[in-house]
Amino acid sequence: MNASQPVSRRDFLRKSACAVVGSVLAASGGAEEASELIIDIHQHCNYGGKRDAQYQQIGSARTDEELVAHQRAMKVSKTVMLPAGSPVIRPSTHTGFSNGLEGTCAGDESCMALAGAHPGEFYFGSNEVPDLEEAPATIEKYLKKGAVCIGEQKFGVECDSPQMEALYRLAAEYQAPILMHWQYGTYNYGFDRFYKMLERHPRTNFVGHAQTLWAHIDKDCKDDPKNLYPRGKITPGGWTDRYLSDYPNFFADLSADSGHNALTRDTDFIRPFLVRHQDKLIFGSDCSDKSGHDMTCTGWMTIRSVRELAASNKIERKLLCENARRVYRL
């Protein structure tokens, strides 16, 4: 499914749910409650722990109970949990550096278990290191168990490698979007030529995430691809803006510091950007704090920025709820 396809009855009912419940709440309470239905497509189990020089976890990370409390503090009603791949030592994991998604994030079983304990509130993705021989089979196993997406794909591989194309085909087959962490020189190489994959896999929904994706809303960023958190004024015409405009199967995840930086660095550019891509931008948090509110929580700040910058309530609803419902079929 993609943004250009006609709206099915099921999608229509989902869309209505985002808006109707909002107006019921608006009638009974304030503006805060009216905007309460929020879907978060980007969180992790066992997030935020420390690691030693061999990338082994030291001490504790955020617990499942703390994660659930964090999501409820952000007033998120549905959350997609993204697993890490298997911990392996090979070039695609930068000899272990990228295990646990470059941290302590847990794998498929943990995410599925959390979703199982909170039906209707938590969902899970399916993941594996893409150049492991068994990766497609492992990912398909969890898709069959109800995973709603593939990812977070955060590995040192070419974006047009045969191994990644096998995952793109699985994503199309199961109508499950694939979420990719774009970071120049480290994860998913070749953002400049990624349009070839968007063209070759039109039935696959791709959700872009992270530094290089957001840096490239700025055309001038091409002059220094290593600058992962560019600041200041944006020159229109970046690759990300073009991919979002030209390809109905390309979406962008607003999560993390990279997404928040993009929202806030040049509000004159970003206000029309949110209008232009109102059917393509999807809220995610990807933060490892325990509070779920105030300036300690990137997700909370991103929700606040979306509400400040969206040109209408309708667009705000799309970014915080409806686009996720449609693309993830929640």
By the criterion CB under 5 A, which residues form the site for Zn ion?
Answer: 152, 286-287, 289, 297, 299
Q: At closest approach, how far in Å is the CB of 179 from Zn ion?
A: 8
Q: Least distance to Zn ion from the beta carbon of 79, Å?
A: 11
- Nearer to Zn ion by Cβ, of 101 and 327: the residue is 101
How many C-beta atoms lie closer than 10 Å to residue 325's C-beta?
A: 21
Residue recorded with tokens 């047009």? 160
- Shortest distance, CB of residue 75 to Zn ion, whole angstroms? 12
Q: Please tell me what DSSP assigns to residue 90.
A: S
Residue 61 or 315 with smaller CB distance to Zn ion: 61
Q: Cβ of residue 9: shortest distance to Zn ion, in angstroms?
A: 33
Chain position carrying tokens 């944006």: 234
Kind of pairing between the strands at 250-253 and 50-51: unpaired
d(CA 270, CA 305): 11
Least distance to Zn ion, CB of residue 162, Å:
25
* Residues across the chain: 330
The least distance separating Zn ion from the CB of residue 284, rounded to whole angstroms, comes to 8
Sign of the four-CA dihedral 29, 32, 38, 44:
negative
Question: Is the CB of 112 or the CB of 234 nearer to Zn ion?
Answer: 112
Question: ω into residue 152 within 30 of 0, thus cis?
Answer: yes
- The pairing of beta strand 50-51 with beta strand 78-81: unpaired
Are the C-beta atoms of 169 and 204 separated by less than 8 Å?
Answer: yes
Please name the helix (run of DSSP H) or strand (run of DSSP E) that holds residue 250, with its range, or none. Answer: strand 250-253
Cβ nearer to Zn ion, comparing 43 with 278:
43
Q: State which residue, 176 or 207, has the beta carbon closest to Zn ion.
A: 207
Going by the DSSP 8-state scheme, the letter that residue 92 receives in this structure is G
Q: Tokens 């990300």 — which residue?
A: 240
User: Residue holding tokens 């499950």?
Assistant: 176
Residue 40 C-beta: closest distance to Zn ion, Å: 10
Q: Give the shortest CB-77-to-Zn ion separation in angstroms.
A: 16
> Which segments within the chain are labelled E, that is strand?
39-43, 50-51, 57-58, 78-81, 122-124, 150-153, 178-181, 206-209, 250-253, 281-282
The 10 Å Cβ neighbour count of residue 114 is: 22
Task: Please identify, using beta-carbon distances, which residue of 79 and 278 lies nearer to Zn ion.
Answer: 79
Of 46 and 278, nearer to Zn ion (C-beta) is 46
- Which runs of consecutive H residues, i.e. helices, occur in 29-107? 31-34, 64-73, 99-102
Nearer to Zn ion, 83 or 299 (CB): 299
Using the minimum distance from each CB to Zn ion, give the nearer residue, 83 or 238: 83
Q: Give the C-alpha distances (Å, rounded to integers) separating 232 from 221, 235, 305.
A: 11, 10, 17
Pairing of strands 57-58, 39-43: unpaired
Q: Kindly state the smallest distance separating residue 226's Cβ from Zn ion, in Å.
A: 21
